[in-house]
Each structure stands twice: as structure tokens, then as C-alpha cells.
């Protein structure tokens, strides 16, 4: 999908054709859309970099263009890893800026919906900074969502005797690992951008870059804290699951013993030999009473030992 935006007097508008000062946003491009990007001057290698799932953040600069690659967060609920990161390529080429990504993201929607009033597509470097800022904000939002989900899983784990919840936590731990790797790589790339002084044309851009670095650092720290908490939680709850299972086994053992007491009494008085009191008219009632008394004694004994 290829979308073209340009800031006008009426705000951010969608165009049908390329224009000076436009922002071209490409998501999961088709061969025809890739051909358009090549015709507009974007090198095929940079398109492939932007679509390659394993590419790491970096910046390349030439006289005619500036290419920036960063990794943005993605929520994929149907995947084995619910929260992952994907590369996003930003090409500042001539009087236009082109963003290329394999997947659609809320980052693009927020920018296109006018979240930032100071966003101008004609100010290409500032638009890049807003993409950085929205990326960091998206990381923070997803980290809070991971916190909320893991707390719900934690509540279920306290009574669990299976590995399902533990394996679910493992998925979120993998997500945090991907987040941590991407955020550190993004930070290195942004620091390099800062050293090249690409955004020193306007004082507002310098301040915005500082805000981006601060937000990204906050996301790194939050990811680190969540990873440590989740690792400790998984170790602790592995023991909790084992203890819960031991409790179940104790209860089953106690019930087995209790139900076997009447069977033992009945077995003794079912033998084909002479037994004391067998000729008494209340012998049957006495046997039943003895079985009930022993059963009640065993029940009280196990109850006081907290086996139930």
C-alpha cells in the first residue's frame, strides 16, 4: 500500500501523485509500488533493507540522500511471539521523504491523523524526528500492555499446576528480549545521527532529538526492569507450580487412605473364619460403626495436618 501525504493550509492531506515536500509512506509494497520507488530515485538495496526482517538500525548518508533504518515495535497477537520488532526504512531524498515497512503500524496512523501539530511534511528531518518520537512512545505503550498482561497471568499462576501459564510468560520474556535489542540498536543509531548534526538547522529540532533520546532511554530502562522482574517471577512460579502439584498429591493420598479404611474393616469381617462378636444381633451395626469411627479419625488427622 502506497500513500502520499503533504501538509497544506488545511492540514495533512492525501495526494494521488508525488509532489514537492511530500511524505510517501509504503507498507508491504507490491512489485508495481517498488518500481515506482525506484523511478523516484530510491535505490533497490535500501528497499530490500527496509523489508528484511533481520536488518539492524543504521544510518547512511550521501550528498543526494540520507537513509535511516530503525526498528519499530509490532503487536502480533496470533504469533508465537506476541510483541516483536520490524525494520522501518526512512529515505530523505531530494525534496521528499519516503518511509518503507513490511507491516502497517499505529505509528503511521498517529502521524497521518495529525497527532503532532508541528508536523510538516516539507520539513523532512523534523518528520524523521517525529517518527523516532512516536516509535519510542509506541515502545512504552506496548511495555505497559505487557505489564498488564503478565499481571493477569501471574494471578492465574498462583493456583496453577500446569505449565501453560509459565510458557505464556516465556513468550513475553522473548518479546522483551527483542525489544531490548532493538531499543539499544536504535539508541546507537540516534546517537550517530546526533553526532552528524543532521538536525542542527533548527533549535526546535535539536530539542526534539533530545526528547527522542530521553524517551528511548526510558523505554530501555523499562524493558530492563520488566525483563528482570519476569525472569524472577518465572523462577519463583516454577516452584509454586511444583508446590501446588504436591498439595494435590497429598490431598489425593489422604482421600485414598480415608476411602480404604472401610474397605479394610469390611475385609476383616468378610473372611470365612470365626470372628469375635459375629453371632451378636448387632454385629453388622457394630462393623459399620467401627468403619465410620476409623474413617472419621483419619479425616480429622489429615485435616489437622493441612492435607486438604
* pLDDT tens figures, 191-231: 888 887 776 666 777 788 888 888 888 988 888 888 888 77
pTM of this prediction? 0.74
Half-sphere exposure of 187 (CA within 13 A, CB side): 16
Grid cell of 231 as nine digits: 525472569
First to last CA, the chain: 61
The residues spanned by each domain of the chain are 2-243, 244-304
Q: What confidence score (pLDDT) does residue 87 get?
A: 92
Most confident of 46-60, 157-171, 281-295: 46-60
Q: How is residue 20 written as a grid cell? A: 514537492
Fold of 2-243: Beta Polymerase; domain 2 (3.30.460)
Q: Which of 12, 246, 240 is nearest to 130 (CA)?
A: 12
pLDDT at 160: 56
pLDDT, tens digit, 9 for 90 and up, residues 90-119 = 888 888 888 888 888 888 888 777 677 777
Tens of pLDDT, residues 237-249: 666 667 667 777 7
Half-sphere exposure of 260 (CA within 13 A, CB side): 6
Number of C-beta neighbours around residue 258 at 10 A: 18
Segment (H or E) for 5: strand 2-8
Amino acid at each position: 500500500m502506497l500513500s502520499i501525504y503533504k501538509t497544506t493550509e488545511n492540514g495533512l492531506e492525501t495526494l494521488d501523485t508525488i509532489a514537492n515536500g511530500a511524505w510517501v509512506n509504503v507498507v508491504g509494497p507490491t512489485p508495481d509500488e517498488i518500481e515506482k520507488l525506484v523511478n523516484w530515485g530510491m535505490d533497490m538495496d535500501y528497499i530490500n533493507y527496509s523489508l528484511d526482517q533481520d536488518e539492524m538500525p543504521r544510518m547512511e548518508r550521501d550528498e543526494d540522500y540520507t537513509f535511516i533504518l530503525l526498528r519499530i515495535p509490532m503487536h502480533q497477537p496470533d504469533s508465537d511471539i506476541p510483541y516483536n520488532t520490524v525494520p522501518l526504512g526512512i529515505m530523505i531524498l531530494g525534496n521528499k521523504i519516503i518511509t518503507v515497512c513490511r507491516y502497517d503500524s499505529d505509528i503511521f496512523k498517529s502521524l497521518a491523523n495529525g497527532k503532532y501539530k508541528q508536523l510538516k511534511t516539507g520539513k523532512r528531518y523534523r518528520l524523521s524526528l517525529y517518527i523516532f518520537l512516536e516509535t519510542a512512545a509506541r515502545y512504552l505503550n506496548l511495555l505497559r500492555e505487557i505489564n498488564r498482561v503478565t499481571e493477569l497471568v501471574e494471578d492465574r499462576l498462583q493456583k496453577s499446576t500446569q505449565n501453560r501459564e509459565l510458557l505464556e510468560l516465556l513468550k513475553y520474556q522473548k518479546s522483551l528480549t527483542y525489544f531490548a535489542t532493538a531499543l539499544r540498536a536504535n539508541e546507537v543509531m540516534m546517537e550517530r545521527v546526533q553526532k552528524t548534526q543532521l538536525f542542527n538547522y533548527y533549535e526546535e529540532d535539536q530539542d526534539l532529538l533530545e526528547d527522542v533520546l530521553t524517551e528511548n532511554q526510558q523505554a530501555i530502562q523499562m524493558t530492563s526492569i520488566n525483563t528482570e522482574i519476569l525472569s524472577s517471577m518465572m523462577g519463583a512460579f516454577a516452584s509454586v507450580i511444583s508446590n501446588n502439584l504436591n498439595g494435590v498429591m497429598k490431598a489425593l493420598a489422604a482421600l485414598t487412605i480415608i476411602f480404604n479404611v472401610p474397605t479394610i474393616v469390611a475385609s476383616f469381617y468378610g473372611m470365612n473364619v470365626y470372628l469375635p462378636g459375629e453371632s451378636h444381633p448387632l454385629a453388622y451395626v457394630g462393623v459399620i460403626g467401627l468403619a465410620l469411627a476409623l474413617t472419621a479419625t483419619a479425616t480429622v488427622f489429615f485435616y489437622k495436618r493441612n492435607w486438604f
